[in-house]
Amino acid sequence: MPVLIVGSIALDTVKTPVEEHADLLGGSASYAAVSASFFTGAQLVGIVGGDFPKAHVEFFESRRIDLEGLQQVEGESFRWSGEYMTDMNVRETRSVALNVFEHFTPHLPESYRQTPYVLLANIAPSLQSYVLDQTARPRFVVADTMDLWITIAKDDLLALLKRVDLLILNDSEAKMLTGETNLIRAAEAIRGYGPGYVAIKKGEHGCLLFGDPSKQEFFSCPAFPLANLHDPTGAGDCFAGGLIGELARADEAEITFDALKKAVVSGSVVASFNVEAFSLERLRTLTNEDIDARRGEFRRISQF
């Protein structure tokens, strides 16, 4: 089964304490679609300008990503620039230029409207809702979000959440959205807004998956121990893409908590590779054998 992915497609400039690179392929949908493509076919909905390099389009094509939903218009692509501090968990946004993204309306091609697995990668929640408006009720909807939307578009986000099966966000965002200081209570509050499942990312400390507490649906996924982190950008998007890709690949008759646990591990595996190099560079050479080997490592480090 294919996955439908909507989000940003960007040219990023990223600075770490040791390196700086400009005009890199980035954006939430780029990371998510390439990550999902290790598990299943992806349909990409986004917008780029005339300056978007052909090589990036060819890279998407080489990953079997369907680009019928990619709009290329006159003007400049969305640009984002971020800087990581000595503690790479701390990032500051240096600049954002919306450019063609400012007037983006994510129209779905007819051929995408029945796609059963949908990932609403990080963009404004009103646009995420608009994508759902154009679909037949998908089988499983995953949404990602960020602190910006909790601050400036909370009502839109709460409206969206009524239509989402799994919300992905990081620990500080979960606290910010709910006003809770405890992640267990935050997840329960978010489930009360609509999603049956909540995945809370904790950066280098892994991720928590919450389902129905009365069925003891709780899973703690470790992060892969990495000594050399080169660029954390897009880790969350790779996590989301790998997660939905794995769910769509399995396409089980019933989406069980066990299936979601496996999907969380798949997302974490791809994310752990992605941070080993800038932009999407590591995923260019990544193989499914590499993914399977690291999945084994995840299993080994979680057993006791």
Residue 125 engages ligand AMP in binding (rule: CB under 6 A): no
Residue 123: half-sphere exposure toward Cβ, Cα within 13 Å? 31
Structure tokens at 164: 């989402």
Torsion over CA: 46, 51, 54, 56 (sign): negative
Options 99, 128, 233, 266; binder of ligand AMP; rule CB under 6 A:
233
Asked if residue 80 binds ligand AMP (CB under 6 A), the reply is yes
Q: Provide the minimum distance between the beta carbon of 13 and ligand AMP in the complex, in angstroms, as a whole number.
A: 10
Which amino acid would we find at residue 53? P
Q: Does 10 bind ligand AMP (CB under 6 A)?
A: yes
Q: Applying CB under 6 A, does 122 fall inside the site for ligand AMP? A: yes
Can you tell me the distance from the alpha carbon of 304 to that of 301, in angstroms, rounded to the nearest whole number? 8
Question: Residue 236, interface with ligand AMP (CB under 6 A)?
Answer: yes
* Residue 81 interacts with ligand AMP (CB under 6 A): yes or no: no
Minimum separation from the CB atom of position 7 to ligand AMP (A): 6
Question: What phi and psi values does residue 39 have, to the nearest 5 degrees?
Answer: -120, -30
- Residue 303 C-beta: closest distance to ligand AMP, Å: 29
Among 234, 241, 245, 267, binds ligand AMP (CB under 6 A): 234
- Percent of residues in the chain assigned helix, strand, coil, to nearest 5: 40, 25, 35
* Stretch 187-226: interaction string toward ligand AMP, x if CB under 6 A: ----------------------------------------
**What is the smallest separation between the CB atom of 275 and ligand AMP, expressed in angstroms?**
9
Number of H helices, E strands in the chain: 11, 14
Edge-to-edge strand list for the sheet holding 91-97: 20-26, 10-15, 78-84, 91-97
Provide, rounded to whole angstroms, the least separation between the CB of residue 106 and ligand AMP.
12
Instruction: Please identify which residue in the block is written with the tokens 């660029």.
Output: 231
Nearer to ligand AMP, 178 or 233 (CB): 233
For residue 5, which amino acid is it? I
Q: Are 275 and 72 in contact (CB under 8 A)?
A: no
Min dist CB 122 to ligand AMP, Å, is: 5
CA distance 60 to 37: 9
Answer for which of 3, 5, 6, 12 binds ligand AMP (CB under 6 A) is 12
Residues at the contact surface with ligand AMP, assessed by CB under 6 A: 8, 10, 12, 26-28, 80, 122-123, 148, 233-237
